[in-house]
């Protein structure tokens, strides 16, 4: 069960305003001010704006030795705990509550500043303590320590599917009684190394990303955190907290094809969706909306469209499919978790978020990409795809909670 969620991203720094921005089809993409982009192929990104850590995070929490991505995650977790009525966390839950974070660049932004200094001065005077939060594990460690959690704690790093896989693992840890409640999600900062890497791969659109559009030319990098509170049904009911939705199933597969290019045969992606459907005990007909990976690289969008057609058959053309990356950018390690928040907002707020910047048709990408603005709807079951470097594919399926004691969000 999902009982809380929180986010910091380029569109908003809370879920309420995030839902509004998604509904309005706003773009969070613009010039990056976090670092100098002069020498790069693109100067745009989906940078988090108006985020003041000390304003978002109460004074009782020390912000020492926390990276930008740690701070995104902490702010998002505070929102999620509040919504889940776990602020404060009850005494008896501390031992049985854990955290799984999907990582990305971790504290690389801060490490870069250190490293540039290290190279200039030959290492003699560089302060190595600045590297303390460089590992992705820093986020989960900070959360567990700050909220006094004694349950399972880990960090997954499967590039762009990290956040989605973290949600799946969290679900399994609860299902196997290793925990009663879990903080799960992902966090990702913009940083020069990531920016340089995607520029080197020529995977970025110099302007803005145009998912599924005929003239798409690459992704736009973004930064964000997306955090969910997962809880066993018993625990949620006992505490009498509203249930926002549930994780119905997830599937993880590997292309076994190429490190950075997706398998255009679409087998890995199709198998991930099927594995998630099987895990959820659902038929393809029951999916109401697909939140696509939709990076806007020429290959991904074609591959994903093919995979959806393979899994859903003739019904593929009838299911709304949108890539909200057109608004919040590709947030890599956070994307699966951020888009989980999107999927749950679609369910709780009753709308299908659009794909913006769809400018020209592509004869091979001919599904219903929701290109003319958000659509009022009442999706019950939403499928979310996340595909990654290394050929890692993760699909998570979210559903409205329909059992006794549940309510529409």
Structure tokens belonging to residue 89: 């966390």
Of 20 and 114, which CB lies nearer to another protein in the complex structure?
A: 114
CB of 144 to another protein, least distance (A): 4
Catalytic residue, from 135, 160, 191, 209: name it.
Answer: 160
Backbone φ and ψ of 263, nearest 5°: -80, 110
The 10 Å Cβ neighbour count of residue 203 is 22
Of 124 and 360, which CB lies nearer to another protein in the complex structure?
A: 124
Q: By the 8 A CB rule, do 47 and 53 touch?
A: no
CA distances 137 to 118, 204, 225, 373, 390, Å, are 23, 28, 15, 38, 20
**What is residue 115's three-state secondary structure?**
helix
Rounded to the nearest 10 degrees, the angle between the axes of helix 108-121 and helix 68-83 is 160
DSSP 207: S
CB of 245 to another protein, least distance (A): 21
Q: What is the rounded distance in angstroms from the CA atom of residue 281 to the CA atom of residue 297?
A: 32
Catalytic residue, from 330, 357, 358, 365: name it.
Answer: 330
Of 120 and 408, which CB lies nearer to another protein in the complex structure?
A: 120
**What is residue 98's three-state secondary structure?**
strand
- Catalytic (active site) residue 43: no
Catalytic residue, from 130, 142, 293, 357: name it.
Answer: 293
- Catalytic (active site) residue 293: yes
Q: What is the rounded distance in angstroms from the CA atom of residue 386 to the CA atom of residue 268?
A: 11
Structure tokens belonging to residue 25: 């089809």
CB of 286 to another protein, least distance (A): 20
Of 27 and 199, which CB lies nearer to another protein in the complex structure?
A: 199
- Catalytic (active site) residue 330: yes
Of 14 and 172, which CB lies nearer to another protein in the complex structure?
A: 172
CB of 300 to another protein, least distance (A): 16
Provide the β-strand partners of residue 251. Answer: 395
CB of 302 to another protein, least distance (A): 20
Q: Provide the annotated active-site residues.
A: 160, 293, 330
């Amino acid at each position: 069960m999902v009982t809380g969620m929180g986010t910091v991203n380029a569109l908003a720094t809370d879920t309420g305003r995030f839902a509004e921005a998604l509904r309005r089809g706003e773009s969070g993409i613009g010039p990056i001010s976090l670092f100098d982009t002069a020498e790069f192929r693109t100067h745009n990104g989906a940078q988090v704006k108006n985020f003041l850590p000390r304003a978002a995070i109460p004074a009782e929490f020390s912000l020492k030795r926390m990276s930008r991505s740690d701070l995104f995650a902490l702010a998002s977790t505070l929102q999620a705990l509040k919504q889940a009525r776990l602020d404060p966390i009850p005494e008896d839950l501390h031992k049985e509550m854990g955290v799984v974070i999907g990582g990305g660049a971790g504290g690389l932004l801060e490490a870069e500043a250190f490293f540039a200094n290290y190279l200039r001065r030959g290492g003699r005077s560089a302060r190595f303590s600045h590297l303390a939060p460089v590992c992705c594990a820093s986020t989960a460690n900070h959360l567990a320590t700050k909220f006094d959690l004694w349950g399972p704690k880990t960090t997954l790093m499967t590039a762009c599917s990290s956040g989605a896989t973290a949600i799946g693992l969290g679900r399994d840890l609860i299902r196997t009684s290793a925990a009663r409640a879990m903080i799960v999600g992902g966090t990702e900062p913009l940083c020069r190394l990531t920016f340089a890497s995607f520029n080197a791969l020529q995977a970025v659109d110099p302007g803005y990303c145009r998912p599924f559009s005929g003239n798409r030319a690459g992704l736009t990098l973004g930064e964000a955190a997306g955090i969910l509170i997962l809880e066993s049904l018993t625990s949620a009911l006992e505490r009498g907290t509203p249930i926002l939705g549930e994780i119905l199933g997830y599937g993880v597969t590997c292309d076994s094809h190429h490190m950075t290019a997706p398998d255009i045969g679409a087998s890995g992606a199709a198998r991930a969706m099927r594995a998630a459907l099987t895990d959820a005990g659902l038929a393809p007909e029951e999916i109401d909306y697909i939140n696509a990976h939709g990076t806007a690289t020429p290959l991904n969008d074609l591959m994903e469209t093919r995979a959806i057609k393979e899994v859903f058959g003739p019904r593929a053309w009838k299911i709304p499919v949108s890539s909200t990356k057109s608004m919040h950018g590709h947030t890599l390690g956070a994307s699966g978790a951020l888009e989980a928040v999107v999927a749950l907002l679609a369910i709780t707020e009753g709308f299908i978020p659009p794909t913006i910047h769809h400018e020209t048709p592509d004869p091979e990408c001919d599904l219903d990409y929701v290109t003319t603005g958000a659509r009022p709807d009442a999706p019950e079951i939403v499928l979310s795809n996340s595909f990654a470097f290394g050929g890692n594919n993760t699909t998570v399926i979210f559903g409205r909670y329909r059992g006794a004691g549940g309510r529409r969000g």
